[in-house]
Amino acid sequence: MNRTEDRPRTMTNDLPLTLVDDHAHAWSPRDARTRFRAGLTGPTAGVAAGHTQVNLISVPADWAYDMLLFCQRNPKPCPVLDVTDAGSWSTVLADGADLRTDLPRYRVWQDGELVDEPTDVRAYWRGDLVSFLIGCSFTFEWALSEAGVPIRHVEQGRNVPMYVTSRECRPAGRLHGPVVVSMRPVPPQHLAAAIRESSLLPAVHGSPVHCGDPSALGIDDLASPDFGEAVEAEPDDIPVFWACGVTPQAAVTASRPPFAITHAPGQMFLTDARDEQYRVA
């Protein structure tokens, strides 16, 4: 069953950006960040196609080692692509970007409780915050699509569904919590391609953690995701689950650090990096 004690808080229901602008897939990452900085919000699947998207979590410096160790011990849900210096809002992944303003929507946490979902966190920024940029499964969707695998949530203009599972991460210092997964329904004839193509991108979660019966992950109802939106599967589709970079948010809920800033689930940071950079073959 879904674990209510670690269940994420309700997310602001922004429209996918592909519904706001049919050309969002052709934006450059800089264009996308400029639009987000100006206040545009929405899930970013398919935006700035070919460029790597990342999850964000910023924690006080005295929690940064715990977070780094948590990510090192749980590389499937938390593959780290960059870590900033304390107080810095820049990243080598995106020249000139501002991590405080350039995501569509953020989440602000105090003592493990969600207190705000702003589009700009400059008012909350602190000089001791260390930011972790974690690989996102949106990045490998281009490879799935090129291999003929349908991406149901993109087809349906929805945010990808995400679920808190009954699987626990390996704890690190003061941080612990359950693994979060994203789910994509895959037709049986495309299952091998979905596994193969995603496995070639381990820096953005890599191969699935489970295929088939959701109850094996402690998920009761695919129609009731903890994050994102439910998608409509075709009758023969197999639910395929990938480790998800929202896992640190579940750890925040479970471990209750005094303060944290994260992305809103599905509303990612667009980097200048090309997806092919993270392909291992």
CA atoms within 13 Å, Cβ hemisphere of 108: 13
C-alpha–C-alpha distance, residues 51 and 53, integer Å: 7
CA dihedral sign, ordered 5, 172, 78, 42: positive
CA distances from 124 to 35, 110, 161, 218 (A): 21, 11, 28, 35
Give the pLDDT of residue 18. Answer: 61
Residue ranges, the chain, pLDDT below 70? 1-13, 18-22
CA distances from 233 to 153, 184, 194, 223, 279 (A): 9, 9, 16, 10, 28
Are the CB atoms for 119 and 56 separated by under 8 Å?
no
Please, where in the chain does CATH 3.40.1640.10 lie? 12-136+251-273
Give the pLDDT of residue 12. Answer: 63
Give the pLDDT of residue 13. Answer: 67
One DSSP character per residue, 248-261 reads: HHHHHHHH--SEEE
Specify the fold of 12-136+251-273.
PSTPO5379-like (3.40.1640)
Superfamily of domain 140-243, CATH level 4: PSTPO5379-like domain (3.30.2040.10)
Give the pLDDT of residue 49. Answer: 87
C-alpha–C-alpha distance, residues 80 and 54, integer Å: 9
C-alpha–C-alpha distance, residues 272 and 275, integer Å: 9
Give the pLDDT of residue 8. Answer: 47
- CA-nearest of 227, 186, 263, 161 to 9 is 227
